[in-house]
Amino acid sequence: MIRMPAEWEDQRAVLLSFPHENSDWADDLQKALTPFIRLAQAIAYSQPVYIVCKDKEAIKELFCSHTNMSFIELPTNDTWIRDYGYISIEEDGETKLLDFTFDGWGGKFEASLDNGVNKLLHAKGYLGTTPMRTVDYVLEGGSIESDGEGTILTTSECLCNPNRNGGKTKEEVETVLKEQLGATRILWLDHGYLAGDDTDSHVDTLARLVTRDTIAYVSCEDPEDEHYEELKKMEEQLRSFRTAEGNPYNLVPLPMSTPKYDEEGNRLGATYANFLITNKSVVYPTYSVPTDKEAHEIFKATFPDREIIPIECSKLIEQGGSLHCSTMQVRR
């Protein structure tokens, strides 16, 4: 029996990949490092963090304490390890790691180094004897959500896109998800997008499973906002979804962030859905905007048994990702 554990289940560690001078962060590397440092510290407070980096001695100097931190030198193109890191599964009660193909979100960016991280990391022995299997199929971790009981939440815009695997039908994609992740049913979102997003609508920017019967999602209440129509359609579809028992999901609307723009006036992909659930906390992105406070109160109410930790992520969205995109949990 195969299943993909939910993010809220027990984690062995969280993977991070730090920016370096040969990445897209080169023009402002010191400022780019700040959210990664704070994120690593927030996670390491209660569980191990594996930090993939270009120069481990230089990165180690950025921290006052190295408790729960391992620094691993590996070549990378970029920092978005959610999409090229291992996907953890459980097979017959044993944790295994899947190494899917990463092609830079449909060939948009050079990704050959990122695509090799899992093999090199596994060869270094940081995951002990945990088995790893390479899968010749493009699949990014940010494109799927699991409830740990066979339900996968995803978007058709990403998984059926012609730039992934030549463009598969939903039925063809479902076959892969069932074989590799043990999925028993797939919830397909056919609406919703985020301006400034390069991933073709990854689900972790739009809607997230937070318990087996609860979904948190980005809600837009401003009819003048460019996202309004599509996110309302997404909301309607979420209301139509049912749990495995046939009940409606509890839906938790997250605010659409106050708009953020780059120097050229392009809207950036600020989303509160891009949060990380760790063993003892929920670490979520803020953007130094008025809606940050509203998001904080919602996270406190949604996760009453976890510490709620904000990390300022305005720098991250300048390169098209946010907090969850920068992390990947590994199952214990």
Exposed e or buried b for every residue in 211-237, given b needs 16+ CB within 10 A?
A: bebebbbbbbeeeeeebeebbbebbeb
**Would you tell me how many other CB atoms lie within 10 Å of the CB of residue 308?**
19
**Contacts (Cβ under 8 Å, ≥6 apart) of 190:** 155, 156, 157, 237
pLDDT in tens, 84-109: 999 999 999 999 999 999 999 999 99
- The number of folded domains in the chain is 1
Query: Which run of H or of E encompasses 284?
Result: strand 281-286
Give the residue carrying structure tokens 């359609």. Answer: 233
Would you give the distance in Å from CA 41 to the centre of its chain?
Answer: 18
pLDDT in tens, 238-271: 999 999 999 999 999 999 999 999 999 999 999 9
pLDDT in tens, 132-160: 999 999 999 999 999 999 999 999 999 99
For the sheet with 281-286, list strands across it. 276-277, 281-286, 307-312
Task: Give 57's pLDDT tier (boundaries 50, 70, 90).
Answer: very high
Q: Which residues pair with 253 in a beta bridge?
A: 217
Taking residues 8-21, report their average pLDDT.
Answer: 98
Taking residues 56-80, report their average pLDDT.
Answer: 98
Q: Where does the chain have alpha helices with state H?
A: 29-44, 56-60, 81-84, 104-107, 112-115, 117-123, 156-159, 170-181, 228-240, 291-302, 314-317
> Residue 71 carries which side chain, given as an amino acid letter?
F
Q: Which residues pair with 51 in a beta bridge?
A: 16, 71
Give the pLDDT of residue 250. 98
Give the pLDDT of residue 41. 98
Exposure of 67 in the CB half-sphere (CA atoms within 13 A): 9
Tokens of 100: 């899917």
Q: How far apart are the first and last CA of the chain?
A: 17
pLDDT in tens, 263-303: 999 999 999 999 999 999 999 999 999 999 999 999 999 99
Distance CA 80, CA 118 (A): 13
Give the pLDDT of residue 19. 98
Taking residues 228-242, report their average pLDDT.
Answer: 98
In a 3-state reduction of DSSP, which class is residue 179?
A: helix
Tokens of 85: 């890191």
pLDDT in tens, 177-208: 999 999 999 999 999 999 999 999 999 999 99
Distance CA 136, CA 254 (A): 35
Q: Which domain holds residue 218?
A: 2-331
Residue 75's CATH number: 3.75.10.10
For the sheet with 11-17, list strands across it. 69-73, 49-53, 11-17, 327-331
Q: Are 106 and 144 in contact (CB under 8 A)?
A: no
User: 3-state SS of 190-243?
Assistant: CCCCCCCCCCCCCHHHCEEEEECCEEEEEECCCCCCCCHHHHHHHHHHHHHCEC
Task: Give 2's pLDDT tier (boundaries 50, 70, 90).
Answer: very high
* Percent of the residues in the chain that have a pLDDT greater than 70, as a whole number: 100
Give the pLDDT of residue 305. 97
Average pLDDT value for the chain: 97
Q: Where does 103-218 have alpha helices with state H?
A: 104-107, 112-115, 117-123, 156-159, 170-181
Q: Are 74 and 56 in contact (CB under 8 A)?
A: no
Q: Are 271 and 322 in contact (CB under 8 A)?
A: yes
Distance CA 289, CA 123 (A): 43
